[in-house]
Structure 1
Amino acid sequence: MAFHEAIKQLSALMEQVDEQQRSTFQNMHQGYPTETLVRFLKAREWNVQKAHKMLMDCLNWRLQNDIDNILTKPIVPVDLYRAIRDSQLLGLSGYSKQGLPVFAIGVGQSTYDKASVHYYVQSHIQLNEYRDRIVFPSATENQGRHIGTCIKLLDMTGLKLSALSQIKLMTIISTVDDLNYPEKTETYYIVNAPYIFSSCWKVVKPLLQERTRKKVQVLQGCGRDELLKIMDYSSLPHFCRREGSGSSRYHSSSPGADNCFSLDHPFHRQLYDYVMRKAYGPESMMPVKQGSFHVNLPDPDPEGVKIAETIESEMHKFENQNIDGHINGLHI
Protein backbone atom coordinates (compact mmCIF):
# COMPACT_ATOMS: atom_id res chain seq x y z
CA MET A 1 0.00 0.00 0.00
CA ALA A 2 2.86 2.36 0.87
CA PHE A 3 4.40 1.70 -2.54
CA HIS A 4 1.18 2.70 -4.33
CA GLU A 5 0.97 5.86 -2.25
CA ALA A 6 4.59 6.76 -3.12
CA ILE A 7 3.88 6.30 -6.83
CA LYS A 8 0.74 8.42 -6.52
CA GLN A 9 2.63 11.22 -4.75
CA LEU A 10 5.51 11.25 -7.23
CA SER A 11 3.05 11.19 -10.14
CA ALA A 12 1.26 14.24 -8.69
CA LEU A 13 4.58 16.09 -8.38
CA MET A 14 5.39 15.29 -12.01
CA GLU A 15 2.16 16.98 -13.09
CA GLN A 16 3.80 20.28 -12.14
CA VAL A 17 6.72 20.08 -14.61
CA ASP A 18 7.02 22.56 -17.47
CA GLU A 19 6.49 21.69 -21.13
CA GLN A 20 10.15 21.02 -21.94
CA GLN A 21 10.55 18.73 -18.95
CA ARG A 22 7.32 16.94 -19.86
CA SER A 23 8.59 16.37 -23.40
CA THR A 24 11.93 14.89 -22.34
CA PHE A 25 10.14 12.76 -19.71
CA GLN A 26 8.02 11.29 -22.52
CA ASN A 27 11.21 10.42 -24.40
CA MET A 28 12.43 8.71 -21.25
CA HIS A 29 9.38 6.66 -20.38
CA GLN A 30 8.42 5.60 -23.93
CA GLY A 31 4.78 5.15 -22.96
CA TYR A 32 5.47 3.64 -19.52
CA PRO A 33 5.49 6.61 -17.08
CA THR A 34 4.52 4.63 -13.97
CA GLU A 35 7.30 2.07 -14.51
CA THR A 36 9.74 4.96 -14.87
CA LEU A 37 8.58 6.55 -11.63
CA VAL A 38 9.04 3.19 -9.89
CA ARG A 39 12.65 2.98 -11.11
CA PHE A 40 13.52 6.33 -9.53
CA LEU A 41 11.65 5.45 -6.34
CA LYS A 42 13.58 2.18 -6.08
CA ALA A 43 16.85 4.05 -6.62
CA ARG A 44 16.03 6.27 -3.63
CA GLU A 45 14.64 3.57 -1.35
CA TRP A 46 11.04 4.73 -1.98
CA ASN A 47 11.66 8.19 -0.53
CA VAL A 48 9.34 10.37 -2.63
CA GLN A 49 11.17 13.67 -2.11
CA LYS A 50 14.57 12.19 -2.92
CA ALA A 51 13.18 10.34 -5.96
CA HIS A 52 11.53 13.56 -7.18
CA LYS A 53 14.79 15.50 -6.86
CA MET A 54 16.67 12.73 -8.67
CA LEU A 55 14.13 12.67 -11.49
CA MET A 56 14.08 16.48 -11.85
CA ASP A 57 17.89 16.56 -11.91
CA CYS A 58 17.79 13.89 -14.62
CA LEU A 59 15.25 15.84 -16.73
CA ASN A 60 17.31 19.03 -16.42
CA TRP A 61 20.50 17.12 -17.32
CA ARG A 62 18.76 15.79 -20.43
CA LEU A 63 17.61 19.28 -21.45
CA GLN A 64 20.94 21.00 -20.74
CA ASN A 65 22.83 18.39 -22.79
CA ASP A 66 20.26 17.88 -25.56
CA ILE A 67 20.11 14.15 -24.80
CA ASP A 68 16.84 13.82 -26.74
CA ASN A 69 18.83 14.53 -29.92
CA ILE A 70 22.00 12.57 -29.13
CA LEU A 71 20.97 9.84 -31.60
CA THR A 72 21.21 12.43 -34.40
CA LYS A 73 24.87 13.17 -33.63
CA PRO A 74 27.14 10.46 -35.08
CA ILE A 75 30.75 10.04 -34.08
CA VAL A 76 32.58 10.69 -37.34
CA PRO A 77 34.58 9.67 -39.26
CA VAL A 78 33.75 5.96 -39.05
CA ASP A 79 37.40 5.08 -38.34
CA LEU A 80 37.17 7.05 -35.09
CA TYR A 81 33.99 5.21 -34.15
CA ARG A 82 35.61 1.87 -34.97
CA ALA A 83 38.53 2.80 -32.72
CA ILE A 84 36.06 3.54 -29.92
CA ARG A 85 34.34 0.18 -30.46
CA ASP A 86 37.75 -1.52 -30.32
CA SER A 87 38.60 0.12 -26.99
CA GLN A 88 35.19 0.44 -25.28
CA LEU A 89 34.04 -3.16 -25.47
CA LEU A 90 30.29 -3.52 -25.17
CA GLY A 91 27.46 -4.85 -27.27
CA LEU A 92 24.15 -6.71 -27.44
CA SER A 93 24.74 -10.46 -27.66
CA GLY A 94 21.11 -11.61 -27.65
CA TYR A 95 18.12 -12.10 -25.36
CA SER A 96 17.33 -14.17 -22.28
CA LYS A 97 14.61 -16.82 -22.29
CA GLN A 98 12.42 -14.20 -20.58
CA GLY A 99 13.02 -11.79 -23.46
CA LEU A 100 15.44 -9.45 -21.66
CA PRO A 101 18.25 -7.95 -23.79
CA VAL A 102 21.68 -9.34 -22.87
CA PHE A 103 24.45 -6.76 -22.98
CA ALA A 104 28.08 -7.85 -22.83
CA ILE A 105 30.84 -5.62 -21.44
CA GLY A 106 34.54 -6.41 -21.83
CA VAL A 107 35.73 -4.82 -18.61
CA GLY A 108 39.15 -6.46 -18.54
CA GLN A 109 40.21 -5.55 -22.08
CA SER A 110 38.59 -2.14 -22.57
CA THR A 111 41.45 0.34 -22.83
CA TYR A 112 39.58 3.65 -23.38
CA ASP A 113 42.74 5.00 -25.01
CA LYS A 114 41.67 5.80 -28.58
CA ALA A 115 39.65 8.99 -28.03
CA SER A 116 38.81 11.70 -25.51
CA VAL A 117 36.64 11.06 -22.47
CA HIS A 118 33.76 12.94 -24.13
CA TYR A 119 33.65 10.57 -27.10
CA TYR A 120 33.44 7.54 -24.81
CA VAL A 121 30.68 9.17 -22.74
CA GLN A 122 28.83 10.15 -25.93
CA SER A 123 29.08 6.61 -27.27
CA HIS A 124 27.85 5.15 -23.97
CA ILE A 125 24.86 7.50 -23.75
CA GLN A 126 23.94 6.80 -27.38
CA LEU A 127 23.86 3.10 -26.62
CA ASN A 128 21.70 3.76 -23.54
CA GLU A 129 19.25 5.85 -25.55
CA TYR A 130 19.12 3.34 -28.40
CA ARG A 131 18.46 0.59 -25.86
CA ASP A 132 15.64 2.58 -24.25
CA ARG A 133 14.02 3.88 -27.45
CA ILE A 134 14.57 0.97 -29.87
CA VAL A 135 15.71 -2.24 -28.13
CA PHE A 136 13.32 -2.20 -25.15
CA PRO A 137 10.22 -1.23 -27.19
CA SER A 138 11.04 -3.95 -29.75
CA ALA A 139 11.48 -6.53 -26.95
CA THR A 140 8.21 -5.32 -25.39
CA GLU A 141 6.37 -5.85 -28.66
CA ASN A 142 7.90 -9.31 -29.15
CA GLN A 143 7.05 -10.44 -25.60
CA GLY A 144 3.63 -8.84 -25.35
CA ARG A 145 4.60 -7.35 -21.98
CA HIS A 146 6.69 -4.41 -20.83
CA ILE A 147 10.45 -5.01 -21.03
CA GLY A 148 12.40 -2.24 -19.35
CA THR A 149 15.44 -3.98 -17.89
CA CYS A 150 18.37 -5.92 -19.28
CA ILE A 151 20.99 -8.44 -18.20
CA LYS A 152 24.66 -7.47 -18.23
CA LEU A 153 27.58 -9.89 -18.59
CA LEU A 154 30.84 -8.40 -17.39
CA ASP A 155 33.89 -10.16 -18.81
CA MET A 156 36.96 -9.74 -16.61
CA THR A 157 39.34 -11.51 -18.99
CA GLY A 158 42.68 -9.72 -19.09
CA LEU A 159 42.02 -7.51 -16.06
CA LYS A 160 45.36 -6.02 -15.03
CA LEU A 161 46.71 -3.44 -12.64
CA SER A 162 46.85 -1.03 -15.58
CA ALA A 163 43.04 -0.88 -15.23
CA LEU A 164 43.69 1.68 -12.49
CA SER A 165 44.10 4.30 -15.21
CA GLN A 166 40.53 3.60 -16.38
CA ILE A 167 38.81 3.81 -12.99
CA LYS A 168 38.13 7.56 -13.26
CA LEU A 169 36.43 7.23 -16.66
CA MET A 170 34.53 4.13 -15.60
CA THR A 171 33.34 5.99 -12.48
CA ILE A 172 32.08 8.86 -14.68
CA ILE A 173 30.17 6.46 -16.95
CA SER A 174 28.81 4.58 -13.94
CA THR A 175 27.65 7.88 -12.39
CA VAL A 176 25.85 8.86 -15.62
CA ASP A 177 24.01 5.53 -15.45
CA ASP A 178 23.29 5.66 -11.72
CA LEU A 179 21.84 9.17 -11.81
CA ASN A 180 20.04 9.17 -15.16
CA TYR A 181 19.32 5.53 -16.08
CA PRO A 182 18.66 3.89 -12.68
CA GLU A 183 17.35 0.37 -12.20
CA LYS A 184 17.76 -0.63 -15.86
CA THR A 185 19.73 -3.79 -15.09
CA GLU A 186 18.09 -6.92 -13.71
CA THR A 187 21.29 -8.88 -12.99
CA TYR A 188 25.03 -8.38 -13.41
CA TYR A 189 26.89 -11.62 -14.16
CA ILE A 190 30.66 -11.46 -13.71
CA VAL A 191 32.63 -14.06 -15.68
CA ASN A 192 36.26 -14.99 -16.36
CA ALA A 193 37.29 -13.33 -13.10
CA PRO A 194 41.04 -13.51 -12.41
CA TYR A 195 42.45 -13.62 -8.89
CA ILE A 196 42.99 -9.86 -8.83
CA PHE A 197 39.25 -9.30 -9.30
CA SER A 198 38.29 -11.89 -6.71
CA SER A 199 40.51 -10.16 -4.14
CA CYS A 200 38.96 -6.75 -4.85
CA TRP A 201 35.41 -8.11 -4.89
CA LYS A 202 35.69 -9.44 -1.34
CA VAL A 203 36.46 -5.90 -0.18
CA VAL A 204 34.04 -4.00 -2.45
CA LYS A 205 31.00 -6.24 -1.97
CA PRO A 206 30.20 -5.07 1.60
CA LEU A 207 30.31 -1.43 0.40
CA LEU A 208 27.48 -1.92 -2.08
CA GLN A 209 23.87 -1.27 -1.20
CA GLU A 210 21.98 -4.48 -0.54
CA ARG A 211 19.75 -3.81 -3.56
CA THR A 212 22.80 -3.61 -5.83
CA ARG A 213 24.65 -6.47 -4.15
CA LYS A 214 21.73 -8.82 -4.80
CA LYS A 215 21.99 -8.08 -8.52
CA VAL A 216 25.64 -9.16 -8.82
CA GLN A 217 26.53 -12.81 -9.38
CA VAL A 218 30.13 -13.94 -9.82
CA LEU A 219 30.10 -17.12 -11.93
CA GLN A 220 32.71 -19.85 -12.15
CA GLY A 221 34.96 -19.57 -15.21
CA CYS A 222 33.17 -18.32 -18.32
CA GLY A 223 29.81 -19.05 -16.70
CA ARG A 224 28.50 -20.95 -19.71
CA ASP A 225 26.59 -23.69 -17.87
CA GLU A 226 24.88 -21.28 -15.47
CA LEU A 227 24.04 -18.80 -18.22
CA LEU A 228 22.52 -21.51 -20.42
CA LYS A 229 19.82 -21.88 -17.75
CA ILE A 230 18.57 -18.38 -18.57
CA MET A 231 19.48 -17.94 -22.26
CA ASP A 232 20.07 -19.99 -25.39
CA TYR A 233 23.57 -20.73 -26.67
CA SER A 234 23.06 -18.29 -29.56
CA SER A 235 22.71 -15.42 -27.05
CA LEU A 236 25.95 -16.21 -25.22
CA PRO A 237 28.68 -13.69 -26.08
CA HIS A 238 31.84 -15.16 -27.58
CA PHE A 239 33.72 -14.98 -24.25
CA CYS A 240 31.19 -17.29 -22.55
CA ARG A 241 30.99 -20.02 -25.18
CA ARG A 242 33.80 -22.21 -23.95
CA GLU A 243 36.15 -22.33 -21.02
CA GLY A 244 39.23 -20.23 -21.56
CA SER A 245 37.84 -18.52 -24.67
CA GLY A 246 38.13 -15.08 -23.14
CA SER A 247 37.00 -11.84 -24.73
CA SER A 248 38.93 -10.42 -27.60
CA ARG A 249 39.35 -7.10 -29.22
CA TYR A 250 38.31 -6.74 -32.84
CA HIS A 251 40.69 -8.32 -35.31
CA SER A 252 40.55 -10.72 -38.24
CA SER A 253 40.46 -13.84 -36.04
CA SER A 254 37.35 -12.54 -34.26
CA PRO A 255 34.68 -12.16 -36.97
CA GLY A 256 32.21 -9.32 -36.56
CA ALA A 257 29.18 -11.61 -36.66
CA ASP A 258 30.46 -13.48 -33.58
CA ASN A 259 32.09 -10.64 -31.67
CA CYS A 260 29.30 -8.48 -30.21
CA PHE A 261 31.87 -5.79 -29.36
CA SER A 262 32.80 -5.20 -33.01
CA LEU A 263 31.41 -2.44 -35.20
CA ASP A 264 30.80 -5.20 -37.76
CA HIS A 265 28.40 -7.03 -35.45
CA PRO A 266 24.75 -6.63 -36.62
CA PHE A 267 23.73 -4.74 -33.47
CA HIS A 268 26.43 -2.08 -33.86
CA ARG A 269 25.81 -1.81 -37.59
CA GLN A 270 22.11 -1.22 -36.92
CA LEU A 271 22.88 1.33 -34.21
CA TYR A 272 25.41 3.23 -36.32
CA ASP A 273 23.17 3.17 -39.41
CA TYR A 274 20.26 4.44 -37.31
CA VAL A 275 22.30 7.40 -36.03
CA MET A 276 23.57 8.20 -39.53
CA ARG A 277 20.04 8.13 -40.97
CA LYS A 278 18.84 10.44 -38.21
CA ALA A 279 21.76 12.79 -38.88
CA TYR A 280 21.69 12.84 -42.67
CA GLY A 281 18.07 11.87 -43.36
CA PRO A 282 15.51 14.08 -45.12
CA GLU A 283 14.33 15.59 -41.82
CA SER A 284 17.87 16.79 -41.07
CA MET A 285 18.31 20.37 -42.22
CA MET A 286 21.85 20.99 -40.96
CA PRO A 287 25.13 19.35 -41.97
CA VAL A 288 26.76 17.18 -39.35
CA LYS A 289 29.80 18.74 -37.73
CA GLN A 290 32.76 16.67 -36.72
CA GLY A 291 33.61 16.83 -33.07
CA SER A 292 32.57 15.17 -29.85
CA PHE A 293 29.20 15.83 -28.26
CA HIS A 294 30.21 17.41 -24.96
CA VAL A 295 28.00 16.28 -22.13
CA ASN A 296 28.23 17.97 -18.76
CA LEU A 297 29.64 15.20 -16.63
CA PRO A 298 27.84 14.84 -13.29
CA ASP A 299 29.74 14.92 -10.04
CA PRO A 300 30.44 11.31 -9.12
CA ASP A 301 28.19 9.84 -6.47
CA PRO A 302 30.12 9.77 -3.15
CA GLU A 303 29.45 6.05 -2.78
CA GLY A 304 30.75 5.41 -6.31
CA VAL A 305 33.92 7.37 -5.58
CA LYS A 306 34.41 5.44 -2.36
CA ILE A 307 34.09 2.11 -4.20
CA ALA A 308 36.48 3.24 -6.96
CA GLU A 309 39.03 4.36 -4.38
CA THR A 310 38.71 1.04 -2.57
CA ILE A 311 39.28 -0.88 -5.81
CA GLU A 312 42.33 1.26 -6.53
CA SER A 313 43.68 0.71 -3.03
CA GLU A 314 43.17 -3.06 -3.19
CA MET A 315 44.82 -3.31 -6.59
CA HIS A 316 47.82 -1.38 -5.30
CA LYS A 317 48.03 -3.81 -2.37
CA PHE A 318 47.91 -6.69 -4.82
CA GLU A 319 50.69 -5.08 -6.87
CA ASN A 320 52.84 -4.58 -3.76
CA GLN A 321 52.31 -8.19 -2.70
CA ASN A 322 53.49 -9.33 -6.13
CA ILE A 323 56.55 -7.10 -5.95
CA ASP A 324 57.39 -8.28 -2.42
CA GLY A 325 56.93 -11.90 -3.47
CA HIS A 326 59.18 -11.38 -6.48
CA ILE A 327 61.90 -9.70 -4.39
CA ASN A 328 61.70 -12.43 -1.74
CA GLY A 329 61.92 -14.98 -4.49
CA LEU A 330 65.19 -13.42 -5.68
CA HIS A 331 66.71 -13.80 -2.21
CA ILE A 332 65.83 -17.49 -1.89
Structure 2
Amino acid sequence: MITSSPLFDINQLTTEEQEKFTIVHNELQPNYTSYLQYKLNLELDTKFEKEEEENEWNYELHRFLRARKWNVPHTIKCLVEMIKWRMDNHVDLILEHKPTSDRMNLLQKIVPFVDHGYTKTDRPLYIEKSGLFNVDRLLNSFQPGELIQCHIYWLELHCRLARERSRQTGKHIESFALLHDLNGCKVEMRKVE
Protein backbone atom coordinates (compact mmCIF):
# COMPACT_ATOMS: atom_id res chain seq x y z
CA MET A 1 0.00 0.00 0.00
CA ILE A 2 1.23 3.48 -0.89
CA THR A 3 1.60 5.78 2.12
CA SER A 4 1.93 9.16 0.42
CA SER A 5 0.03 11.04 -2.24
CA PRO A 6 1.46 11.06 -5.76
CA LEU A 7 3.79 13.97 -6.37
CA PHE A 8 2.48 16.87 -8.40
CA ASP A 9 4.20 16.84 -11.80
CA ILE A 10 4.47 20.31 -13.32
CA ASN A 11 5.80 18.72 -16.51
CA GLN A 12 2.29 17.51 -17.31
CA LEU A 13 1.32 21.14 -17.91
CA THR A 14 1.91 23.02 -21.14
CA THR A 15 4.74 25.57 -21.22
CA GLU A 16 2.25 28.44 -20.85
CA GLU A 17 0.49 26.69 -17.96
CA GLN A 18 3.84 26.03 -16.25
CA GLU A 19 4.68 29.73 -16.48
CA LYS A 20 1.33 30.74 -14.99
CA PHE A 21 1.61 28.09 -12.29
CA THR A 22 5.09 29.35 -11.36
CA ILE A 23 3.89 32.97 -11.19
CA VAL A 24 1.02 32.04 -8.85
CA HIS A 25 3.25 29.75 -6.77
CA ASN A 26 5.93 32.41 -6.30
CA GLU A 27 3.45 35.23 -5.67
CA LEU A 28 1.64 33.25 -2.97
CA GLN A 29 4.70 31.75 -1.29
CA PRO A 30 4.65 34.21 1.66
CA ASN A 31 0.91 33.65 2.19
CA TYR A 32 1.30 29.90 1.98
CA THR A 33 4.33 29.86 4.30
CA SER A 34 2.34 31.83 6.88
CA TYR A 35 -0.64 29.49 6.51
CA LEU A 36 1.53 26.39 6.80
CA GLN A 37 3.10 27.76 9.98
CA TYR A 38 -0.39 28.45 11.31
CA LYS A 39 -1.36 24.82 10.63
CA LEU A 40 1.82 23.48 12.20
CA ASN A 41 1.03 25.42 15.38
CA LEU A 42 -2.47 23.97 15.71
CA GLU A 43 -2.92 21.32 18.36
CA LEU A 44 -4.39 18.66 16.12
CA ASP A 45 -4.83 14.99 16.97
CA THR A 46 -4.25 14.18 13.31
CA LYS A 47 -0.73 15.29 12.44
CA PHE A 48 0.42 16.02 8.92
CA GLU A 49 3.71 16.04 7.10
CA LYS A 50 5.05 19.37 5.84
CA GLU A 51 6.21 17.84 2.55
CA GLU A 52 2.81 16.28 1.91
CA GLU A 53 1.09 19.59 2.65
CA GLU A 54 3.36 21.34 0.17
CA ASN A 55 2.53 18.72 -2.46
CA GLU A 56 -1.20 19.18 -1.80
CA TRP A 57 -0.70 22.95 -2.09
CA ASN A 58 0.64 22.43 -5.63
CA TYR A 59 -2.46 20.43 -6.52
CA GLU A 60 -4.60 23.18 -4.97
CA LEU A 61 -2.87 25.86 -7.06
CA HIS A 62 -3.42 23.78 -10.18
CA ARG A 63 -7.11 23.24 -9.33
CA PHE A 64 -7.68 26.96 -8.71
CA LEU A 65 -5.90 27.90 -11.94
CA ARG A 66 -8.00 25.45 -13.95
CA ALA A 67 -11.23 26.67 -12.34
CA ARG A 68 -10.36 30.26 -13.23
CA LYS A 69 -9.33 29.39 -16.78
CA TRP A 70 -5.67 30.15 -16.01
CA ASN A 71 -6.40 33.79 -15.10
CA VAL A 72 -3.42 34.52 -12.84
CA PRO A 73 -4.66 37.69 -11.03
CA HIS A 74 -8.06 36.15 -10.33
CA THR A 75 -6.47 32.91 -9.09
CA ILE A 76 -4.13 34.79 -6.74
CA LYS A 77 -7.01 36.87 -5.35
CA CYS A 78 -9.16 33.78 -4.75
CA LEU A 79 -6.37 31.82 -3.08
CA VAL A 80 -5.48 34.72 -0.77
CA GLU A 81 -9.15 34.98 0.21
CA MET A 82 -9.37 31.21 0.74
CA ILE A 83 -6.32 31.15 3.03
CA LYS A 84 -7.66 34.08 5.06
CA TRP A 85 -11.10 32.49 5.30
CA ARG A 86 -9.66 29.16 6.47
CA MET A 87 -7.61 30.86 9.18
CA ASP A 88 -10.35 33.28 10.28
CA ASN A 89 -12.91 30.48 10.57
CA HIS A 90 -10.59 27.83 12.07
CA VAL A 91 -11.50 25.43 9.28
CA ASP A 92 -8.45 23.25 9.89
CA LEU A 93 -9.74 22.50 13.39
CA ILE A 94 -13.32 21.67 12.47
CA LEU A 95 -12.95 17.89 12.12
CA GLU A 96 -11.70 17.72 15.70
CA HIS A 97 -14.27 20.19 17.07
CA LYS A 98 -16.51 18.08 19.36
CA PRO A 99 -19.60 20.36 19.30
CA THR A 100 -19.65 20.32 15.48
CA SER A 101 -19.14 16.56 15.45
CA ASP A 102 -22.09 16.20 17.84
CA ARG A 103 -24.23 18.43 15.59
CA MET A 104 -23.29 16.23 12.63
CA ASN A 105 -24.62 13.20 14.52
CA LEU A 106 -27.92 15.02 15.09
CA LEU A 107 -28.01 16.12 11.46
CA GLN A 108 -27.64 12.50 10.35
CA LYS A 109 -30.78 11.61 12.34
CA ILE A 110 -32.74 14.36 10.58
CA VAL A 111 -31.21 13.96 7.11
CA PRO A 112 -30.30 10.30 6.59
CA PHE A 113 -26.89 10.08 4.91
CA VAL A 114 -23.93 7.76 4.74
CA ASP A 115 -20.43 7.65 3.34
CA HIS A 116 -20.62 4.57 1.15
CA GLY A 117 -17.09 3.70 0.16
CA TYR A 118 -15.75 4.82 -3.21
CA THR A 119 -16.82 5.01 -6.83
CA LYS A 120 -15.12 3.03 -9.61
CA THR A 121 -12.89 6.08 -10.13
CA ASP A 122 -11.95 6.02 -6.41
CA ARG A 123 -13.86 9.14 -5.42
CA PRO A 124 -15.45 9.08 -1.94
CA LEU A 125 -19.18 8.37 -2.33
CA TYR A 126 -21.77 10.22 -0.24
CA ILE A 127 -25.41 9.08 -0.32
CA GLU A 128 -28.18 11.23 1.13
CA LYS A 129 -31.84 10.23 1.43
CA SER A 130 -32.98 13.76 0.65
CA GLY A 131 -36.58 12.63 0.17
CA LEU A 132 -36.88 11.52 3.79
CA PHE A 133 -36.18 14.65 5.78
CA ASN A 134 -38.40 17.44 7.04
CA VAL A 135 -37.17 20.97 6.49
CA ASP A 136 -39.09 22.33 9.49
CA ARG A 137 -37.44 19.82 11.82
CA LEU A 138 -34.04 20.71 10.38
CA LEU A 139 -34.57 24.45 10.83
CA ASN A 140 -36.00 24.00 14.34
CA SER A 141 -32.96 21.95 15.37
CA PHE A 142 -30.19 24.13 13.90
CA GLN A 143 -29.27 27.78 13.81
CA PRO A 144 -28.09 28.98 10.37
CA GLY A 145 -24.48 29.21 11.62
CA GLU A 146 -24.62 25.61 12.85
CA LEU A 147 -25.80 24.40 9.45
CA ILE A 148 -22.92 26.25 7.83
CA GLN A 149 -20.47 24.66 10.28
CA CYS A 150 -21.91 21.21 9.53
CA HIS A 151 -21.56 21.83 5.81
CA ILE A 152 -17.93 22.90 6.24
CA TYR A 153 -17.31 19.84 8.42
CA TRP A 154 -18.82 17.62 5.72
CA LEU A 155 -16.67 19.19 2.97
CA GLU A 156 -13.49 18.90 5.04
CA LEU A 157 -14.27 15.28 5.87
CA HIS A 158 -14.69 14.40 2.20
CA CYS A 159 -11.52 16.25 1.26
CA ARG A 160 -9.74 14.15 3.88
CA LEU A 161 -11.29 10.96 2.48
CA ALA A 162 -10.17 11.92 -1.03
CA ARG A 163 -6.67 12.58 0.25
CA GLU A 164 -6.56 9.23 2.06
CA ARG A 165 -7.76 7.49 -1.09
CA SER A 166 -5.01 9.24 -3.05
CA ARG A 167 -2.49 7.68 -0.68
CA GLN A 168 -4.07 4.24 -1.07
CA THR A 169 -4.29 4.27 -4.86
CA GLY A 170 -1.21 6.28 -5.77
CA LYS A 171 -3.23 8.66 -7.95
CA HIS A 172 -4.45 12.14 -7.09
CA ILE A 173 -8.15 12.32 -6.21
CA GLU A 174 -9.56 15.81 -5.81
CA SER A 175 -13.31 15.31 -5.91
CA PHE A 176 -16.07 13.20 -4.43
CA ALA A 177 -19.41 11.89 -5.67
CA LEU A 178 -22.81 12.78 -4.25
CA LEU A 179 -25.95 10.75 -4.68
CA HIS A 180 -29.24 12.29 -3.55
CA ASP A 181 -32.09 9.79 -3.25
CA LEU A 182 -35.28 11.81 -3.76
CA ASN A 183 -37.57 8.82 -3.23
CA GLY A 184 -40.41 10.02 -1.00
CA CYS A 185 -39.77 13.67 -1.78
CA LYS A 186 -42.96 15.76 -1.91
CA VAL A 187 -43.39 19.46 -2.53
CA GLU A 188 -45.11 19.99 0.82
CA MET A 189 -42.17 18.50 2.75
CA ARG A 190 -39.95 21.30 1.41
CA LYS A 191 -42.33 24.02 2.50
CA VAL A 192 -41.19 25.99 5.52
CA GLU A 193 -44.10 27.33 7.56
TM-score by length of 1: 0.43
Q: Which position in structure 2 is the counterpart of 1:307?
A: none
Q: Which position in structure 2 is the counterpart of 1:116?
A: 143
> Is 2:31 the counterpart of 1:17?
yes
With CA pairs under 8 Å and 6+ residues apart, which has the higher RCO, 1 or 2?
2
The residue matched to 2:157 in structure 1 has which SS? Answer: helix
Q: For the pair shown, which has the larger CA radius of gyration, 1 or 2?
A: 1
Q: Which position in structure 2 is the counterpart of 1:61?
A: 85
Q: How does 1:279-298 map to 2 (within 5 A)?
A: none
- Structure 1 residues 41, 159: CA separation in 2 closer, same or farther (over 3 Å shift)? farther
- Structure 1 residues 52, 83: CA separation in 2 closer, same or farther (over 3 Å shift)? same
Structure 2 counterpart of 1:126, one-letter code: Y
The residue matched to 1:153 in structure 2 has which SS? Answer: strand
CA contact (8 A) 1:24 1:68 kept: no
**How many residues get paired?**
162
Q: Which position in structure 1 is the counterpart of 2:113?
A: 90
CA contact (8 A) 1:25 1:59 kept: no
> Is 2:84 the counterpart of 1:70?
no
> 1:249-301: per-residue Cα shift (whole Å, max 9, x none)?
xxxxxxxxxxxxxxxxxxxxxxxxxxxxxxxxxxxxxxxxxxxxxxxxxxxxx
CA distance in 1 between partners of 2:32 and 2:118 (Å): 37
> 1:167-200: per-residue Cα shift (whole Å, max 9, x none)?
xxxxxxxxxxxxxxxxxxxxxxxxxxxxxxxxxx
CA contact (8 A) 2:116 2:126 kept: yes
CA distance in 2 between partners of 1:118 and 1:131 (Å): 20
- Structure 1 residues 18, 45: CA separation in 2 closer, same or farther (over 3 Å shift)? closer
Q: Pairwise CA RMSD of aligned residues?
A: 2.8
1:19, CA displacement in angstroms?
A: 4.4
**Structure 2 stretches of 5 or more lacking a match?**
1-13, 41-47
TM-score by length of 2: 0.70
Q: Which position in structure 2 is the counterpart of 1:202?
A: none
The residue matched to 1:129 in structure 2 has which SS? Answer: helix
- Structure 1 residues 141, 43: CA separation in 2 closer, same or farther (over 3 Å shift)? same
**Structure 1 stretches of 5 or more lacking a match?**
166-332
- Structure 1 residues 107, 147: CA separation in 2 closer, same or farther (over 3 Å shift)? same
1:37, CA displacement in angstroms?
A: 0.7
- Structure 1 residues 13, 152: CA separation in 2 closer, same or farther (over 3 Å shift)? same
CA distance in 2 between partners of 1:65 and 1:125 (Å): 10
- Structure 1 residues 60, 156: CA separation in 2 closer, same or farther (over 3 Å shift)? same
Identical-pair percentage: 22
- Structure 1 residues 11, 89: CA separation in 2 closer, same or farther (over 3 Å shift)? farther
Structure 2 counterpart of 1:48, one-letter code: V
Structure 1 counterpart of 2:89, one-letter code: N
CA contact (8 A) 1:44 1:51 kept: yes
More helix by share: 2
> 1:81-130: per-residue Cα shift (whole Å, max 9, x none)?
54311224433111122322111233333433322122222122122222
1:49, CA displacement in angstroms?
A: 0.9
